[in-house]
Amino acid sequence: MSVTLTPEAVKKVRALLADPAQNDAKGLRVQVVGGGCSGMSYKLGLERGPDEKDQVIDDYDGFQVYVDPKSALFIDGTEIHYTESMMGSGFEFRNPKATGSCGCGSSFSA
């Protein structure tokens, strides 16, 4: 299973993890949940550690990425990018398994 983060995404996650309000979070959870315009949505969160069944992608400059088994089926091969512009900022998902997506880019179908 592979999920990769671009250097911009790594930099943003490191900045988020450095915030004292994150209560010692050590990694980034990447998850797929039902919902959104196209049927499934991406969900990101900061967590202290992986769950027992998680796949763990080690060491992105000092943090890990956690993916649960169900989400792994839908996001294998995905690249996560972070962009900032005058039009807005946020994480973008480049998922080769997505067969369709909505205009906002945060939901997809597979």
pLDDT digits (tens, 9 = 90+) for 32-88: 988 766 578 889 999 999 999 999 997 787 899 999 999 999 899 999 999 998 888
- Total number of domains in the chain: 1
- Asked if residue 110 belongs to a domain, the reply is no
Chain segment 63-73, per-residue pLDDT in tens: 999 999 999 99
- What pTM, to 2 d.p., does this model score? 0.85
CATH number of domain containing 20: 2.60.300.12
- Exposure letters 19-54 (e unless 16+ CB within 10 A, then b): eeeeeebebbbbbbeeebebebbbebebbeebeeeb
Range of the domain at 61: 3-99
Task: Judge whether 105 lies within some domain.
Answer: no
Those residues with Cβ within 8 angstroms of residue 83's Cβ, 6 or more apart along the chain or in another chain: 8, 89, 90, 92
